[in-house]
Structures are given as C-alpha cells and as structure tokens.
Chain A
Amino acid sequence: MERIMLYVEDTPGMATAAAWSLRLAKGMSCRLFALSVVDPDAPRRQDSQTSDAEERAWSQLYEVEDDAFQKNVRISLLLETGEPLQRLISLSTSYDAELIVASADCRLTCSELVRQSNRPVVFVK
C-alpha cells in the first residue's frame, strides 16, 4: 500500500483516527492525504460561518500535518468545498488512495461511504 486518504472533521474522535492513520502510514511507509471538506450547504452555517468553518478545517489539517512531520510521515493536505461524501469518494479515486480512513463519529453516512466507494474503508473508534 502506498497511499492512504484520511478524512478530517472536527469531531471528538478525529484525533484517534488521525493517530491511527499516522501509525499505519509510518509502519507501511505510505503517503497520507489528509482531506477536509467544507460543506457550503450545511444548514447550520451562514456565509460568515462558512468562512469560520474553512479556518477550522485548515487548522485541523495543519494539526495532522504537524504530527506527521514529527513522525516522519509524508503528507499532503487537501481542503475542498462541496458535498463531503461525494468529494471524499471522488478525491480518493483521483489520488488513487488504496484505503480511506475516517473517524467512527464523523458526520458522513458511514454505510453510504462503504456502499459508494470502490476503496476499502476503515472507521476508527
């Protein structure tokens, strides 16, 4: 395995999922793609909150990046706007990720991700 796609979201379980991904990537000498998606249609967000959401998303990505750097794991950060499930599926294909990792408490519909993606998916709890 050479590439892992980590889906990054601001949930309590995210740190555990990120740590698990970093251990796996280091153990297998993989490159990690950390992806966060800002959903402009999320009902709780107005225009200014979307901007805040983008800043939070970058902040989470850079947290993962900093940990990756300390652990000597190669990483690329991706911030996208759109419908999260579809962006994750599309980008995991574009970047030829061989595994998708997400936190078990992410806001994606887990069953839909497993059903729609043609990649293996791991939910970390």
Chain B
Amino acid sequence: MAKISELLPRSAIVLDLQSKEKFDVISELVRPLVAAGAITGESEFVSAIVRRENMESTGIGVGVAIPHARTKAVSSIVLAFGRSDSGVDFNSLDGKPSHLIFLIAAPEEQKTEYIMTLARLSKLLRKDEVRIGLNKAGSPDDVLRVITQHES
C-alpha cells in the first residue's frame, strides 16, 4: 500500500490557501488534482465531497480536517494538502477552525485502500510534532519531509 507521502503530489500542496469558506477551500484543493489528471470528473467529485460535508463533519479536531470522497470520477487515490493561517470552519466537534486540510480522492472500487489511507493519515495528524512541522513548513518539500519522517 502506498505511503501518504507517495500519494501527495508537490503540485497539490497549497501552503497559503486563499479561500476562507469550506467549499471554496475544497474547490481550491481539487483544482491541482484535476490539472494533474487524477480527478477526471470535477463536478461529480465535488458533488460527492459536498454531499459528505453536508452529512458529517470531516474536521477531526486539533485544527485538522480531512474532506474525502470515493467516486468513479477519480482514477487513482490521491491527496491534496492546504494550509490556512486564518482557519476554516469544518464543523469540528471541538468547535475549532481547521488550519491543516488534507483532501482525499479515491476511485469507487478502492474501498480498502481508501479506508486505510484515511486511517493512516488520521493517526499521523494526531501527532503534535507532525502538526507543528506542517504549520512551520516553508515549501512543499518541507511538507513531504515532515510526512516522510513520521510515517511508519
């Protein structure tokens, strides 16, 4: 199974998110994945993400959100990462805004890999040192270095 760092293209790391609202942030993170060819049906994928966001909170607390969807509009599992200094409201149970946002896109048929990617990413982001490293990262390479260092 691929590592988190292997699923996150440099071009999909946005260290200064311009959007302030949840769905705008999602669109901002989807764009580079569409450009990279990983998401083949942008509107279908965004619809799936929006539907999930309207049903549940993908904010896992401690300033982290992981919006995700599994649809036919995705060719292979891929991640995007965005960082927001001001924070974005992802309806986290702890009531705090999310500053670190990882978007996961997966093909419909890869349920096991999708679940495992969500689980490994969630575990990784509960580590204080990972969140501190991602908040301090000055470049996409720094982001990938932090993730690589802490992936088991």
Which residues from chain A sit less than 8 Å from chain B, CB to CB? 48, 51, 54-56, 58-59, 61-63, 65-66, 68-69, 72-79
Q: How far is A66 from B152 in the complex, measured between Cα atoms in Å?
A: 25
Give me the 10 closest cross-chain CB pairs, A-B, nearest first. A58-B119, A59-B119, A58-B122, A62-B118, A62-B115, A55-B123, A54-B123, A75-B56, A55-B119, A74-B55
**Are A76 and B56 in contact (CB-based, < 8 A)?**
yes
Tell me if B70 counts as interface (CB < 8 A to partner A): yes
Interface of A is mostly: helix
Taking residues whose C-beta sits less than 8 angstroms from the other chain, chain B's interface range is 10 to 19
Q: Which residues of B contact A72 (CB under 8 A)?
A: 55
Which residues from chain B sit less than 8 Å from chain A, CB to CB? 52, 55-57, 60, 70, 93, 111, 114-116, 118-120, 122-123, 126, 152
Selected A-B contacts with CB under 8 Å, 20 pairs: A54-B126, A56-B119, A58-B118, A58-B119, A58-B122, A59-B115, A59-B116, A59-B118, A59-B119, A62-B115, A63-B115, A66-B70, A68-B55, A69-B52, A72-B55, A74-B55, A74-B56, A77-B60, A78-B93, A79-B60
Instruction: Point out the residue from B55, B57, B93, B119 that lies within 8 Å of A62, measured CB to CB.
Output: B119
Q: A62-B115, A66-B111 are in contact. List 4 more A-B contacts (CB 8 A).
A: A51-B152, A55-B119, A65-B56, A75-B56
Q: How far is A66 from B115 in the complex, measured between Cα atoms in Å?
A: 8
Q: How far is A58 from B127 in the complex, measured between Cα atoms in Å?
A: 14
